[in-house]
Chains A and B, each alone.
Chain A
Amino acid sequence: ETGVTQSPTHLIKTRGQQVTLRCSSQSGHNTVSWYQQALGQGPQFIFQYYREEENGRGNFPPRFSGLQFPNYSSELNVNALELDDSALYLCASSLLTYDTEAFFGQGTRLTVV
């Protein structure tokens, strides 16, 4: 039990739609990172938020965006969904941006049809 919860656990969307995934971090953790994990691959870094500001981004297009709120919750938004967006989306929270031990949630399995 990491204290990081994600919702929903599973989601099916149609190509072209928009989706919002949610993450509740551990209390006191001011940093949240989002990762995309395609089937059979390791997680890929999407971006990180620190104190409600984006603090680094991976090789993902602008249609992937995020928000972080003062109550330790955060969102990942994906617009104009594509079939290749089907993946497990993971959030990880930590106290500092460079914390060695990031706590991951269970993930949201997104299927785009």
Chain B
Amino acid sequence: DAKTTQPPSMDCAEGRAANLPCNHSTISGNEYVYWYRQIHSQGPQYIIHGLKNNETNEMASLIITEDRKSSTLILPHATLRDTAVYYCIVRVADGNKLVFGAGTILRVKS
């Protein structure tokens, strides 16, 4: 599985969009980009995933660059409850494991 690089921490004002970047320059053609988050003292929670096209669901949007070497997770209107560690993960579609890095600590402030 390709490695990912994320900033260790970010701050965001409540109500504003939170844009979390991820670099995955060694990603292969059959590897997907996944995002999970982990709120303090809880298990990780799936957010979104994508291969090439941009994706949107009720939680977030995922923007993947054309060369697929980087992506951005967007939380459109961050709330205090979005304060968490966000993990960007790259894996093959039929992979049986998630390889977590250190993630980005997102602090949403009022």
Contacts and interface: CB of A to CB of B under 8 A. Distances in A.
Interface of A: 2, 4, 33, 35, 41-45, 48, 50, 55-56, 58, 90, 92, 97-98, 100-107
Nearest to B49: A100
Name which of B49, B97, B101 has the most chain A CB atoms within 10 A of its CB. B97
B21 interface: no
Contacts of B41: 106
A104 B97 contact: no
Contacts of A107: 42-43
Interface string B70-87: 000000000000000101
A48 B91 CA distance: 16
A52 to B, nearest CB: 15
B94 A98 contact: yes
Main secondary structure of the interface of B (DSSP, over half): loop
B95 A98 contact: yes
Interface of B: 32, 34, 41-46, 49, 85, 87, 93-103
Contacts of A56: 96-97
A98 B31 CA distance: 12
B84 to A, nearest CB: 13
Contact of A58 (B43, B49, B97, B103): B97
Given A92-B43, A104-B44, A33 B96 contact: yes
